[in-house]
């Protein structure tokens, strides 16, 4: 009986402390998974994340990778399952929490997204904390909390004065409230950091130019209309961070 108990104890310890070889294999599968995810080869990425999970069923990076795959495939139930599994496995994963918030935001679940971001923003070591604050501000705007949104945007600029997307949000808000001088100021700061404009940014810039009667700005923006790629950005900013591993 004593021998059996000792064997069980050793087995438990072995499970808690994987061998260096096993850890190396998990790391390799993770890296391969994210490499294929970046190139949009989702089937191959999924294969390697599952291989990592076969070695450690609670590996947070592999779970997060699967959450991102299923979110991209619009498999909402599976994506949410794996986001929750990721955060249960690693409650300190700020990047996963931000991406889960982006997932919730895209479904118009703004209050839930805000709750996740309120936790994420407490991580003062996270290198993209200004992006978390930007996302919080966007949630607050959707929830009608204007002053809270503006406070988050200002905090983001305090951390990173070159947070260009924050300037676009402020330009949009000041245009809406007819504070045109401030709107143009923030739009120009946004534009200074961009070589290309998406559809939303160009539309805001044109509206500001027309409202101020700035024909030079309007003509310059129209000349760029056919040169810049068009894409919509009406969701939380997660593209810059979602593939970090």
The residue ranges of every structural domain in the chain are 162-234
* pTM tops 0.95: no
List phi, psi (to 5°) of 5.
-65, -40
**Per-residue pLDDT of the chain in tens (245 residues, 90 and over written 9):** 333 323 333 333 334 566 888 999 999 999 999 999 999 999 999 999 999 999 999 999 999 999 999 999 999 999 999 999 999 999 999 999 999 999 999 999 999 999 999 999 999 999 999 999 999 999 999 999 999 999 999 999 999 999 999 999 999 999 999 999 999 999 999 999 887 888 999 999 999 999 999 999 999 999 886 444 333 334 454 443 343 43
**Cα separation, 7 vs 116, whole angstroms:** 42
Half-sphere exposure of 67 (CA within 13 A, CB side): 26
DSSP 8-state symbol, 186: H
Q: Are 31 and 245 within 8 A, CB to CB?
A: yes
Rounded to a whole number, what is the distance in angstroms from the first to the last CA of the chain?
A: 45
**Cα separation, 201 vs 207, whole angstroms:** 10
- How many beta carbons lie within 10 A of that of residue 187, not counting itself? 25
DSSP 8-state symbol, 244: -
**Angle, CA of 199, 180 and 235, to the nearest 5°:** 35
């Amino acid at each position: 009986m004593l021998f059996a108990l000792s064997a069980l104890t050793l087995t438990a310890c072995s499970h808690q402390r994987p061998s260096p070889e096993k850890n190396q294999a998990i790391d390799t599968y993770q890296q391969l998974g994210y490499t294929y995810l970046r190139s949009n080869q989702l089937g191959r990425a999924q294969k390697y994340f599952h291989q990592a999970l076969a070695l450690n069923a609670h590996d947070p990076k592999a779970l997060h990778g699967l959450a991102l795959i299923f979110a991209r495939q619009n498999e909402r139930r599976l994506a949410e399952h794996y986001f929750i599994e990721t955060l249960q496995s690693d409650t300190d994963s700020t990047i996963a929490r931000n991406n889960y918030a982006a997932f919730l935001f895209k479904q118009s679940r703004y209050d839930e997204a805000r709750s996740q971001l309120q936790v994420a923003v407490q991580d003062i070591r996270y290198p993209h904390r200004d992006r978390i604050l930007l996302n919080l501000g966007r949630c607050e705007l959707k929830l009608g909390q204007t002053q809270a949104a503006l406070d988050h945007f200002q905090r983001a600029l305090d951390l990173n004065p070159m947070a260009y997307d924050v300037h676009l949000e402020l330009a949009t808000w000041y245009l809406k409230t007819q504070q045109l001088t401030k709107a143009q100021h923030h739009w120009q700061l946004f534009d200074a950091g961009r070589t290309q404009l998406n559809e939303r940014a160009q539309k805001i810039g044109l509206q500001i130019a027309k409202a101020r009667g700035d024909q030079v700005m309007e003509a310059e923006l129209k000349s760029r209309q056919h040169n810049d790629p068009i894409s919509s950005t009406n969701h939380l900013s997660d593209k810059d961070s979602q593939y970090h591993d």
